[in-house]
Amino acid sequence: MTSGENTAARKLPGSLETNRRLDRWLRVNRDGTVTVFPGKVEIGQGILTVLVQIVAEELDLALERVRLAPADTSRSPNEGITSGSRSIQESGMALRYAAAEVRDLLMQRAAVKLGVSLEQLTAADGVIAARGGGSLTYGELADDDLLAREATAEVAPKAAAQHAVVGTAVPRLDIPAKVAGVPSYVQDLELPGMLHGRIVRPPGYSGRLTALDAAEVQAMPGVVAVVRDGNFIAVVAGREEQAIRAQRRLARISQWEEQSALPENSDPRYLLDCVAIAEVISEKTGETAASGAISELEAEYTRPHIAHASIGPSCAVAQFTDGQYTVWTHSQGIFPLRGDLAKVLGVDEKSITVIHAEGAGCYGHNGADDVALDAVLLARAVPGRPVRVQWMREDEFAWEPYGSAMVVRMRAALGADGRIASWSHDVWSHGHSTRPGGKGGVNLLAGWHLAQPLRPAAPGNPPLPAGGSHRNAIPLYDFPQQHVTNHLVSEAPLRVSALRSLGAHVNVFAIESFMDELAIAAGADPVEFRLRHMKDARARAVIEAVAAKAGWKPREQGDGMRGRGIGFSRYKNLGCYVAVITEVEVENEVRVRRAWAAIDAGQAINPDGIVNQTEGGITQTISWTLKERIDFDRQRVTTRTWQDYPILTFAEAPEIEVTLINRPDQPPLGAGEGAQGPTGAAIANAIFNALGVRMRDMPFTRDRLVAAMI
Amino acid sequence: MALTITVNGTPREITADAETPLLYVLRNDLQLKGARFGCGAGQCGSCMVIVDGKAVQSCDVPVSAVAGKSVITIENLGSVERPHPLQQAFIDEQAAQCGYCVSGIIMTAKALLDVNPEPGEHEIRAALAQNLCRCGTHARILRAIRRAAEKMRAAT
Ligand code: FES
Ligand code: FES
């Protein structure tokens, strides 16, 4: 056994550091298959296929022989939350080293059993053969003892040049079942004797229940229970449509008292009047070569609150039997969720098992965790019976935590040499993370409505360098003087949390729009102007690659209707590099016709997966940027349906070409969130290129466009 | 009340209120989970099935309204082992991210290709007016439908 002090003290790769036992990650089965236990979860980004590729590669095993176990708090490694495009770095690297070590253990055991030296052995598809004859399968070699030890990470994984499976576009393992309509999601889970629950939320955040006579609902067909606990009211019924009917009736007859506490309108500039904590996050006071600024520019950019708006409303199934809770959920963090559930229920974490089952794409922290608590509360009311709760579309729009509204103010001076002499960036926003597991409170919706309410933990930001509202606020460009300030508005009138790319969408939109404004002021081509200020070779490479792919012509001009623009960022300043060019056509409204992107995400484990994520990121961001805004009055969120919240349609979707710059010798960087920032700016820049009109307030709706043109 | 509806060619007897949306009968009584709840209001297409040859949002149709009609669901097209050409095209193009929207979209595409085997780009996009995809898989989905149309034409 190898668990000496040296091993324990050494830092291990990825999540192996915090989950050191090999059998936490992998199990070699008697039939020669290998089961992988990832702590990260599938959210439509294709991560599980990538993890299977990594394991198959290191173990010299066919992909078909690798099995995946669902993440489960009773068995899986605790990998926190699946977010921030970190799954490959954390789970992937842990599994890469764990699998390499398991292969080494199998080889050593084979050498002993076959009575030969290690050099005489080769492994292929789960069979270890000796040169002089004789072979054993992994299934024959392994027993429970073999992996019951701590990882050392001392067995070097394969070098990139040896990779046969990693680096290839292995088709996603889950797609055949999904296109065949096979049950694939927690929404499809069916347990014997399962009941259906629905929640009646307050009409708005401030709602307090003043009167409810539940008798008539209790008497409705199929109703098994009406649950009331403070301002939390819900129904449980035998059939789904019965639960929905009871929910509607209950909503109609319940009476609530409300406050007028929301901002006057959805203009994000209310943030500027709020109490904020200002923190200077980057300061450079170098010499400028220019003898004096030729021009100074200022601009303000904004985005309102926007929604995750998952296509499948949040859902969970829970059961309470003999004092034990089991919940099936599409949460991105089963362990933090278990912790917060335990606080609400006032029980030990050990009495709760949280099992992951896929949901629809979530793009960050949506209602997934909240509905898990809803299901658990209802299961507690009907012991022994599983209860499935799915939010209605209206619940999802009204109660999910939104991506925060943001305001960014930029100021810069341009020198006579055509270079930026000084740069300042001020960002106002609420915190971008209120996930479960926060300190000093409970971040589960129903917990706040109970008769004994729990307080939410304060919204916070992940710290720099990744950052939250300040994610990507520090420019990657090289300026002699710069000043970047984060103004964090803690008190949030609307519920907010992590939405794909966090603050990067707006910060990069501001930086890259402003770079365009400065390039124009300098009389420079926007592509060349960016390169002029960029030293990072990989950044330059994606900018040059996208310009080449799109056939960008220096100083190209739009024709009054069509135009093109560029945007760039390195996600979190430490993740993937992405540059995007969009072509827009503006008639009554803005339409993105085509988009080109170049992405460098380091080593590409599954190139098509990166391309798919980038295409999706661009398309979703076009929707955010052109169309989306959460609306509210002084009391309530008024956005409730897809009619209130239109998203990009098939008629409006652009053609997209993605150029992947693969760097097999570099660490993989994650690719799920790199396109958001560059795309927003590329659209604004393309509109200017087409019409000479600068759009600075998202969304770029028809009304805004008309207003900007006159 | 007891009702008989014909789903995927087989008459099925169910007990539900006449106004129960077809979606819940398919999913919960018949265990056909491929049609999915997205909005319950005819605005997203996750629940799409084919009724008498037309793409229909099953959340928006009372079960009693399909008595005597033919209901086809995604489960009737093909299987993991033997995918329908449309399903195969979605696999070939890797046209899914989360995939929640995809079975509804395939049903819309099937209804289109059944009456119009050679749809133009505009016709495909127009047919998908009732379907939403939040992951932004649009470009791949459009490619998959074009590919399926070609393959199906070549096979006839
Ligand atoms: S669920 Fe039927 S259209 Fe949305
Ligand atoms: S693939 Fe996720 S909604 Fe379409």
Q: Are residues A20 and A96 in the same domain?
A: yes
Domain that holds residue A356: 186-258+308-399
Which of A168, A203, A235 is at the close of a domain?
A: A168
Instruction: Report the C-alpha gap between A241 and A90 in whole angstroms.
Output: 42
Residue A394, SS3 per DSSP? helix
Rounded CA gap, A398 and A495, in Å?
10
> What pLDDT score was predicted for residue B143?
98
Interchain CB distance below 8 Å, B140 and A615: yes
| Degrees, nearest 5: CA angle A124-A129-A135 | 120
Q: Could you tell me which of A171, A185, A179 has the C-alpha nearest to residue A311?
A: A185
Residue A437 domain-assigned (yes or no) = no
Q: Sketch the domain layout of chain B as residue ranges.
A: 2-75, 85-155
Which ligand neighbours the alpha carbon of B38 most closely? 1
Within a domain: A180: no
Closest CA to A199 of A230, A175, A232, A162: A232
- Contact criterion met (CB < 8 Å) for B75 and A313: no
Spatial CB neighbours of A112, under 8 Å, sequence gap ≥ 6: none
CA–CA gap between residue A586 and residue A593 (Å, rounded) = 10
pLDDT at A4: 39
Q: Which of residues 32-91 of B touch A (CB under 8 A)?
A: 32-41, 43-44, 46, 73-75, 77-80, 83, 87, 90-91
Please say which residue of A379, A399, A419 terminates a domain: A399
Considering the domain boundaries, does residue A448 fall inside one?
no
Where a domain ends, among A399, A418, A445? Answer: A399
ipTM of the complex model: 0.98
Q: Which two tokens stand for residue A56?
A: 């198959």
Same domain flag for A508 and A609: yes
With 80 as the cut, is the pLDDT of residue A359 above it? yes
* Amino acid A2: pLDDT: 39
Indicate whether residue B133 lines ligand 2 (CB < 6 A): yes
User: CATH code for B2-75?
Assistant: 3.10.20.30
Check pocket membership of B39 for ligand 1, CB cut-off 6 A: yes
Stretches where chain B sits below pLDDT 50 are none
Ligand 1 in contact with B24 (CB < 6 A)?
no
Tell me, yes or no, whether A677 and A557 share the same domain: yes
In a domain, A459, yes or no: no
- Ligand having the closest approach to the CA of B132: 2
Query: Which of A 30-89 lie inside 8 A of B, CB atoms?
Result: 43-46
Question: Are residues A142 and A107 part of one domain?
Answer: yes
Of A364, A7, A378, whose CA–CA distance to A225 is shortest?
Answer: A378
User: Which CATH number belongs to the domain containing residue A331 in this structure?
Assistant: 3.30.365.10
Same domain? A291 vs A208: no
Asked if A514 and A677 count as a contact pair (C-beta separation under 8 A), the reply is no
A33-42 pLDDT per residue, tens: 999 999 988 8
Shared domain check, A158 and A61:
yes
Helices B138-155 + B85-92 axis angle, to 10: 130
Tell me if B58 CB under 6 Å of ligand 2: no
Whether A459 and A433 have beta carbons less than 8 Å apart is answered as yes
Strand order in the sheet with B70-72: B10-15, B2-7, B70-72, B48-51, B54-57
| Cα–Cα distance measured from residue A15 to residue A39, given in angstroms and rounded to the nearest whole number | 9
Going by C-alpha positions, the residue among A346, A592, A649, A178 that lies closest to residue B79 is: A178
The predicted structure's pLDDT at residue A440:
82
Give the chain A residue whose CA is nearest to the CA of B18.
A241
Structure tokens at A128: 């270890």
- Is residue A218 classed as helix, strand or coil in its secondary structure? helix
- pLDDT at A6 exceeding the cut of 50: no
Size of interface A-B (CB pairs under 8 A): 188
Q: How far apart are CA A71 and CA A337, in angstroms?
A: 13
CB of A693 within 8 A of CB of A632?
Answer: no
The atom of ligand 1 lying closest to the CA of B48 is: 2
- Does residue A414 register a pLDDT over 50? yes
Asked if the bond preceding A465 is cis, omega within 30° of 0, the reply is yes
Domain assignment present for residue A231? The answer is yes
**Best mutation target, A311, A612, A640, A658, to test chain B (most B CBs within 10 A):** A311
pLDDT at residue A43 is higher than 60: yes
Phi-psi region of A343 (alpha: psi -120 to 50; beta: other; left: phi over 0): alpha
Q: Where are the alpha helices (DSSP H) in A424-535?
A: 504-521, 526-532
Separate counts of helices (H) and strands (E) for chain B: 5, 5
pLDDT of the residue at A151: 94
Q: Tell me, what's the pLDDT at A45? A: 82
Q: Which of A558, A557, A577, A559 lies closest to A568 in space, CA to CA? A: A577
Superfamily assignment of B85-155 in CATH?
Answer: [2Fe-2S]-binding domain (1.10.150.120)
Q: What is the 3-state secondary structure (H, E, C) of A40-86?
A: CCCCCCCHHHHHHHHHHHHHCCCHHHEEECCCECCCCCCCCCCCCCC
A193 touches chain B (CB under 8 A): no
Within 10 angstroms of residue B54's Cβ, the number of other Cβ atoms is 11
- The four Cα atoms A133, A139, A143, A149 give a dihedral, to 10 degrees, of 90
- Note whether A332 and A254 are same-domain residues: yes
Q: Which residues share a beta bridge with A565?
A: A582
In this prediction, residue A291 has a pLDDT band, given cuts at 50, 70 and 90, of low
Name the average pLDDT for chain A: 94
**Residue whose CB lies within 8 A of the most ligand 1 atoms, among B57, B130, B133, for a mutation test:** B57
B141 interaction partners in chain A (CB closer than 8 Å)? 650
Q: What is the pLDDT of residues A542-581, one digit of tens each?
A: 999 999 999 999 999 999 999 999 999 999 999 999 999 9
DSSP A653: P
- A185 and B100 within 8 Å at the Cβ level: the answer is yes
Ligand 2 pocket member B105 (CB < 6 A): no
How much of chain B is in helix, strand and coil states, percent to nearest 5?
A: 45, 15, 40
Q: Which of A4-18, A370-384, A455-469, B10-24 has the lowest mean pLDDT?
A: A4-18
Is residue A4 assigned to a domain?
no
Of B28, B44, B102, Cβ closest to residue A642: B44
How close does chain B come to A645, measured CA to CA in Å?
11
What pLDDT does residue A290 have? 56
Same domain, A422 and A357: no
Does the beta carbon of A624 lie under 8 angstroms from any beta carbon of chain B?
no
Structure-token match 């259906």, residue found: A196
**Residue A614 and residue A670 share a domain:** yes
User: Do A196 and A293 fall within a single domain?
Assistant: no
Q: Where does the pLDDT of residue A7 fall: very low under 50, low under 70, confident under 90, or very high at 90 and above?
A: very low
Chain A residues whose beta carbon lies within 8 Å of the beta carbon of residue B91: 171, 175-176, 179
What local confidence, expressed as pLDDT, does residue A438 receive? 82
Q: In whole angstroms, give the CA distance from residue A662 to residue A673.
A: 17
| Per-residue confidence (pLDDT) for residue A87, from 0 to 100 | 86
pLDDT for A677 beyond 70: yes
Q: Are residues A428 and A515 in the same domain?
A: yes
Establish if A445 belongs to a structural domain.
no
Cα A619 to chain centroid, rounded:
15
Work out the minimum CA distance from A452 to partner chain B, whole angstroms.
Answer: 32
| d(CA A188, ligand 2 centre) in Å | 16
Question: Does A286 fall in a domain?
Answer: yes
The answer to whether A639 contacts chain B (CB < 8 Å) is no
Domains of chain A: total? 3
Query: Do A366 and A416 reside in the same domain of the chain?
Result: no
Q: Which atom of ligand 1 is nearest to the CA of A642?
A: 4
Contacts of A99 (CB under 8 A, 6+ apart): A26, A54, A55, A57, A58, A59, A157
**Residue A1, pLDDT above cutoff 50:** no
Give Cα separations from A133 to A115, A140, A333, A532 (angstroms): 11, 17, 48, 63
What's the pLDDT tens digit per position in A103-159?
A: 999 999 999 999 999 999 999 999 999 999 999 999 999 988 899 999 999 999 999
Q: Bigger pLDDT: A439 or A456? A: A456
Does the beta-carbon distance from B83 to A184 stay under 8 Å?
no
- Hey, which of A43, A184, A311, A393 would you mutate to test ligand 2's pocket, going by the most ligand atoms within 8 Å of its Cβ? A311
Chain A from 210 to 269: CB within 8 A of any B CB: 221, 239-241, 244
B129:A612 CB<8 A: no
